[in-house]
Amino acid sequence: MTELPDQSDLAENSGPQEYDGPSKSQLKRDSQALQNMGKKLVEMPSGQLEKFNLPEALEQAIQEARRLKSREAKRRHLQYIGKLMRTLDISTIQETLERMDHQSQTYRQHFAQLEQWRDRIINEGHRAIEDFIELHPESDRQQLRNLQRTASREMEKNKPPAAARKLFAYLRELSE
């Protein structure tokens, strides 16, 4: 005969099971974060992607995702890329992505600042040129004045802004 379990044993084992791992919702959030990171990698130019030193399987999956045209196929493939990334140490990938985002944000701010200088030099003339030369003493005052004068004339005559582009290129050259 088999022994029946004692009533006290049944009471202990019939309660809710304890689970100390992450919740299902947390696992889904983590999975979605990896998919989003994978999407950034897919949208990134190949030259920048080489900086990441990714495993070959992940690189191939990224190349495959770029080739896909169907929205649903891309979605499924991004899930696959997320699955591949679960096995990797993504901290280095994440740090590199953040550094690239910061660099591009810094570049955009610098670009906007140069555009403001260009507009100010064209509109204000001599005073703005002097302010710019204080910040960049290596700049050629005469060249700035010539570019400013030509750009102002083009603006007055509603011509294409060729001199303004040249002025911007010169300002960018000086600031680098």
10 Å CB burial of residue 146 (0-12, 13-18, 19+) is middle
Two tokens, residue 89 = 């140490």
pLDDT in tens, the chain (176 residues): 556 655 555 555 555 667 778 889 998 998 899 999 999 999 988 888 888 888 999 999 999 999 999 999 999 999 999 999 998 888 888 888 888 888 888 888 999 999 999 999 999 999 999 999 999 999 999 999 999 999 999 989 988 889 999 999 999 898 87
We report the CATH number of the domain holding residue 77 as 1.10.60.30
pTM as predicted: 0.54
35 CB neighbour count, 10 Å cutoff: 19
Q: Are residues 123 and 150 in the same domain?
A: yes
How far apart (Å, rounded) are the C-alpha atoms in residues 32 and 30? 5
Q: Quick one: pLDDT at residue 93? A: 87
Q: Which of 90, 121, 142 corresponds to the end of one domain?
A: 90
Q: Are residues 110 and 171 in the same domain?
A: yes
10 Å CB burial of residue 33 (0-12, 13-18, 19+) is middle
User: What is the domain extent for residue 140?
Assistant: 106-175
Q: Are residues 52 and 77 in the same domain?
A: yes
Whether residue 97 lies inside any domain: the answer is no
Q: Are residues 132 and 72 in the same domain?
A: no
